[in-house]
A = this chain, B = another copy of it.
């Protein structure tokens, strides 16, 4: 059990850096196990698998969350993670833009505005 959690935390340290603690704090007084599930299931069981690297995985998650549409806060976190594991702002912009064809312009526009927020905080604007 311990191992599974630790394996997930190693990935989360790479993808989310110092922000991990926030997730756990958010769930602390209401559903601490939900935090543990996120570490143990997607991060420990999926993101550790070597067939696809973290850079590609996070870009696919950005694509997914852009299409899902209502997950702005999670999309923000994963755009940050996508940058941290080696995606350029340009690559992220391209994939969000591509989603206009599969989920429509509103999803792509909203995703782009969230990317803009992240890039602004990290002083990555304008994207060239």
State how many angstroms separate the Cβ of A82 from the closest Cβ of chain B.
11
Chain A, interface size category, equals 35 or more
- The distance in angstroms between the C-alpha atoms of A4 and B36, with both chains bound, is 15
Tell me if A18 counts as interface (CB < 8 A to partner B): no
Interface residues of A (CB under 8 A from B): 1, 4, 26-31, 33-34, 37-38, 41-42, 45-47, 49, 51-52, 56-57, 59-71, 73-74, 88, 90-91, 93-110, 112-113, 115-116, 119, 125-127
Q: A69-B71, A71-B107, A101-B104 are in contact. List 12 more A-B contacts (CB 8 A).
A: A30-B119, A38-B109, A42-B98, A51-B93, A52-B91, A59-B60, A64-B66, A68-B69, A71-B110, A73-B110, A102-B106, A104-B104
